[in-house]
């Protein structure tokens, strides 16, 4: 089973591999830089070499590693300057992943800020197409579903599938589904039957062949709440029964699972990994 956490790169980026190995991860996700700012220091060649060597020496498959876009970019922005800056950030992140040998970059789809879904989707397609044209084809861009917050794009499987269909070349793109976001957007995952029905709808509208990474999180918010608040595995509104089905199904399809769960007095990262293995 390929399962792990979002891990810290504090100190140097190769420390991410150390952190993942120490927790017993068989997959992991990172930010390649500080996610809360626009500026990014260039990757040091020594750190890149160390990252690759440590990963090769570990039992973690390179194809189970993924990077996540920083928080500030908005690829659906109707405003020219924020859009251009966001596109530049995406292109830079893809190039950083390419240097590190990370095969996937997860991108939030952003907010159209009231301009409407059509306008937001047009900007998204423009951004992703340009980013694919301007970078090497060794990194796949993954579109992450949203929780359905106001003005957000891509919470609905049908809409996400429509966006994906318009992106060329198709091999440069895939999806990352977040279970908390899906549930908050109204896709029920609480029981075996409801989770199976949700996955059937996903396969019909998007297709499992496009699902490259699963963000495995429980939800603080209720079904259809549009609340993007992650919870410990099994302790949220989705619960153990539904998440057990999700884990088993995704594991059978050999898709890496990344947890983005809280750390508090109830449970830490290792505790959540242990719970996933129990439910598997």
Identify whether 232 is a catalytic site residue: no
Identify whether 117 is a catalytic site residue: no
Q: What is the pLDDT of residues 235-267, one digit of tens each?
A: 999 999 999 999 999 999 999 999 999 999 999
Q: What is the pLDDT of residues 28-82, one digit of tens each?
A: 999 999 999 999 999 999 999 999 999 999 999 999 999 999 999 999 999 999 9
Identify whether 260 is a catalytic site residue: yes
Among 6, 112, 172, 181, which one carries the catalytic annotation?
Answer: 181
Read off the pLDDT of each residue in 274-280 and give the average, rounded to a whole number.
98
Question: What's the pLDDT at 93?
Answer: 98
Read off the pLDDT of each residue in 155-176 and give the average, rounded to a whole number.
96
Is-contact 235 181, C-beta < 8 A?
A: no
Among 18, 156, 192, 260, which one carries the catalytic annotation?
Answer: 260
Question: Which one, of 138, 137, 149, 139, lies nearest residue 178 by Cα?
Answer: 149
Among 228, 231, 245, 267, which one carries the catalytic annotation?
Answer: 228
Question: What's the pLDDT at 169?
Answer: 95
Read off the pLDDT of each residue in 143-152 and give the average, rounded to a whole number.
96
Identify whether 144 is a catalytic site residue: yes
Centroid of chain to Cα 36 = 17
Q: Which fold has domain 3-279?
A: TIM Barrel (3.20.20)
Among 15, 68, 210, 232, which one carries the catalytic annotation?
Answer: 68
Identify whether 203 is a catalytic site residue: no
Identify whether 215 is a catalytic site residue: yes
Question: What's the pLDDT at 153?
Answer: 94
Among 33, 112, 187, 230, which one carries the catalytic annotation?
Answer: 230
Domain boundaries, the chain: 3-279
Among 14, 92, 93, 144, which one carries the catalytic annotation?
Answer: 144
Read off the pLDDT of each residue in 178-195 and give the average, rounded to a whole number.
98
Identify whether 108 is a catalytic site residue: yes
Distances in Å between the Cα of 17 and the Cα atoms of 84, 186, 214, 221, 276 are 32, 35, 20, 32, 20
Identify whether 245 is a catalytic site residue: no
């Amino acid at each position: 089973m390929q399962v792990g956490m979002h891990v810290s790169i504090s100190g140097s980026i190769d420390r991410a591999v150390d952190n993942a190995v120490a927790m017993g991860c068989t997959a992991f996700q990172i930010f390649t830089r500080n996610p809360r700012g626009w500026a990014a220091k260039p990757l040091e060649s020594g750190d890149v070499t160390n990252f690759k060597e440590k990963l090769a020496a570990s039992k973690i498959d390179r194809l189970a590693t993924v990077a996540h876009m920083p928080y500030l970019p908005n690829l659906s922005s109707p405003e020219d300057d924020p859009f251009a800056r966001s596109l530049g950030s995406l292109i830079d992140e893809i190039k950083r992943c390419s240097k590190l040998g990370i095969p996937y970059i997860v991108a939030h789809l952003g907010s159209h800020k009231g301009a409407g879904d059509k306008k937001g989707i047009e900007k998204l397609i423009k951004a992703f197409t340009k980013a694919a044209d301007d970078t090497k084809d060794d990194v796949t861009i993954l579109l992450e579903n949203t929780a359905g917050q106001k003005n957000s794009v891509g919470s609905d499987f049908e809409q996400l599938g429509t966006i994906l269909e318009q992106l060329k070349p198709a091999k440069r793109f895939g999806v990352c589904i977040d279970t908390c976001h899906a549930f908050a957007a109204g896709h029920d995952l609480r029981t075996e039957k409801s989770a199976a029905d949700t996955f059937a709808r996903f396969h019909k509208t998007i297709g499992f062949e496009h699902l490259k990474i699963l963000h495995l999180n429980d939800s603080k918010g209720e079904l259809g709440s549009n609340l993007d608040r992650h919870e410990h595995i099994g302790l949220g509104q989705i619960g153990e029964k539904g998440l057990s089905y999700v884990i088993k199904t995704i594991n059978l399809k050999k898709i890496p699972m990344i947890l983005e769960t809280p750390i508090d007095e109830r449970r830490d990262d290792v505790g959540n990994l242990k719970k996933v293995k129990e439910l598997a």
